Structure 1
């Protein structure tokens, strides 16, 4: 059984590369290292949803998408990954991901489904990856680790016309527990640009990694 993402969800993601949708309360949160991050306050959860727009100047969209999808490789370059692997839950392929949190906070883990599609749009190739939590799948929770049950992320990648990649990312998660405001702001304002920088570095080393496998 494949993840149930609709054609419209994929279309909605790539369209933001051309026309960012920022009406309805979106505010510019931070701009750094060529990355703009907007946020939207959710009254129900009292948390923010984020949209990220930027350019990875030194790697192609195809390479970015391949690196983003490679779970085994991510464990080599993303220092916040505690565990990350694809597995089968009652016939549904899903991903288990445990994220390291700073002491004294508990680690968080996710069970989610994802799908990648490479779309042809008026002669352009746009690579879109959608992911969302799948809390109903039978994955036992670990002691001392909080399960994130409300998570979604979409990523759209397209050539910038040169050697780089235009990136759009939309994400929300509810980590539960009492997360200090400073940590939430750091994760969005600094952690996301750092992640994109580290991913760009990872792209430059991906060929060597593949050869050694």
Structure 2
């Protein structure tokens, strides 16, 4: 029997968090090795683990996978969260790319100097409420309101709930104009595997802070 997947990254969200979410939603237990020193990173480089000299990296099924999207694709397909045919996969990819775009705006927020944070927060709210959330609200309405592709949960739903919760950390009322997304949030948070992941003490990471930034800078030798 194959062992647990092992995740190599910092003890924080970053690009690994969506991988944690997807594994957790699939009910997969995983181990983590947190990078805290430059030496750890250099050892991974020396032994050839990091194909493109970057993390995240996941050891799974005898492979060492890098590149976030490749890892997510593999996990989703392995655990039946990637649709039943090419058409559904194309839709999942499209919905995932949308949430990835919004996540990118949210993810940089903690890196910005104080004088830029207010502007970025306005951008998060504008993009979420005018560009992205209206799309997912309509998709839910068109597909029966349960999940983005209808009756079965997919990777797209997992990444959407992750994105919703990230956005709400920045603006608690950001879903106020989207009743179907509000109901979707409630429904997704009651999925047993996701409910477990949302409990205190799980492997879900808190919002990034100065310690997370300092660790990444140390590992990558950033000034």
What TM-score results when the alignment is normalised by the length of structure 1? 0.28
Structure of greater Rg: 2
Structure showing greater relative contact order (alpha-carbon pairs closer than 8 Å, 6 or more residues apart): 2
Q: Which is strand-richer, 1 or 2?
A: 1
Q: Which has the higher helix share?
A: 2
